[in-house]
């Protein structure tokens, strides 16, 4: 029983702190429990990204289940499909699914700020399509870079970290321009 509680605590800690190697100045979820956060940015298509991640998991599971069956049919000399065709198709689809999953995990679904306006909550998706919240000090969020051209996504960085999120320039909806300008410094582009 004690071992299960320790595993559950570790899993909750992973989900609340996020998925990045170099976290920088991330605030643990326990320190912000009970605080009210007001949304100021929302990505409109986060539900579609979540469905895509869940579909990715289904397709990956299907590939894993069908690959041994195809190998057994090939060994038994039953020419249902060529083993090389299945191998190439599963390799290509797995690579595409990995790239899509990596990009979908980086998209910011929601930005919120607490009442004291010193902590920013960044909500994104996990590999399984579940919501992941990361809490950052508002002062550690770096202004977005001014990238010329019709870019759809801009990189969202914070201090002491090499990791980033992606903010949608075209499909994101800013709910409070003043908060967005104060935290991210990018209001003139929307």
Q: Tens of pLDDT along 138-183?
A: 888 887 754 444 567 888 888 877 788 888 878 888 888 888 888 8
Q: Is 82 domain-assigned?
A: yes
Phi, psi of 4 (to 5 degrees): -65, -40
In a domain, 81, yes or no: yes
In the prediction, which pLDDT does 160 show? Answer: 76
Nearest of 180, 125, 136, 131 to residue 158 by alpha carbon? 136
**3-class SS at 168?**
strand
Residue 100 within a domain: yes
| 136-164: burial string, b at 16+ Cβ within 10 Å, e else | bebebbeebeeeeeeeebbebbbeebebe
In a domain, 71, yes or no: yes
Residue 12: pLDDT band by 50, 70, 90 thresholds? very low
pLDDT for 69 equals 79
Strand 119-125 and strand 172-174: the pairing is unpaired
Angle at 132 between CA 153 and CA 17, to 5 degrees: 105
Lowest model confidence (mean pLDDT) among 10-14, 34-38, 112-116, 149-153: 10-14
Q: Is residue 3 part of a domain?
A: no
Q: Which residues have a Cβ under 8 Å from the Cβ of 41 and sit 6 or more positions away? A: 108, 110, 111, 167, 172, 173, 174, 175, 180, 184
Residue 77 has pLDDT above 80, yes or no: no
How many structural domains compose the chain? Answer: 1
Q: How far apart are CA 176 and CA 165, in angstroms?
A: 20
Query: 3-class DSSP state for residue 13?
Result: helix
Torsion of CA 34, 35, 41, 43, to 10 degrees: -10
* pLDDT confidence tier of residue 121, bands split at 50, 70 and 90: very high
CB atoms near residue 11 (< 10 Å):
10
| Domain that residue 58 falls in | 49-104
pLDDT of residue 61 exceeding 50? yes
What whole-number distance in Å separates Cα of residue 168 and Cα of residue 152? 6
Give pLDDT, residue 151. 67
Query: What is the model's pLDDT at position 124?
Result: 92
Flag whether 79 is in a domain: yes
User: pLDDT band for position 39 (50/70/90)?
Assistant: very high
Give domain status of residue 67, yes or no. Answer: yes
In this predicted structure, what is the pLDDT of residue 181?
84
Q: Which two tokens stand for residue 121?
A: 């909550």
Residue 44 inside a domain? The answer is no
**Could you tell me if 160 and 26 are in contact, meaning their C-beta atoms sit under 8 angstroms apart?**
no
What is the residue-averaged pLDDT of the chain?
Answer: 76
pTM of the model: 0.72
């Amino acid at each position: 029983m004690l071992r299960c509680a320790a595993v559950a605590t570790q899993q909750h800690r992973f989900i609340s702190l996020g998925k990045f190697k170099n976290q920088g100045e991330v605030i643990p979820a326990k320190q912000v429990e009970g605080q009210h956060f007001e949304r100021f940015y929302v990505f409109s298509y986060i539900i579609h990204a979540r469905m895509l991640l869940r579909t990715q998991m289904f397709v990956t599971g299907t590939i894993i289940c069908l690959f041994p069956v195809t190998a057994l049919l090939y060994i038994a000399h039953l020419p249902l499909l060529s083993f090389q065709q299945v191998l190439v198709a599963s390799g290509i689809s797995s690579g595409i699914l990995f790239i899509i999953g990596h990009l979908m995990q980086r998209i910011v679904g929601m930005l919120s700020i607490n009442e004291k306006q010193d902590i920013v909550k960044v909500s994104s998706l996990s590999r399984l399509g579940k919501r992941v919240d990361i809490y950052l000090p508002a002062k550690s969020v770096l202004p977005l870079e001014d990238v010329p051209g019709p870019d759809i996504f801009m990189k969202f960085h914070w201090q002491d970290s090499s990791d980033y999120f992606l903010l949608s320039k075209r499909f994101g909806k800013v709910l409070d321009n003043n908060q967005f300008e104060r935290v991210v410094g990018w209001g003139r582009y929307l």
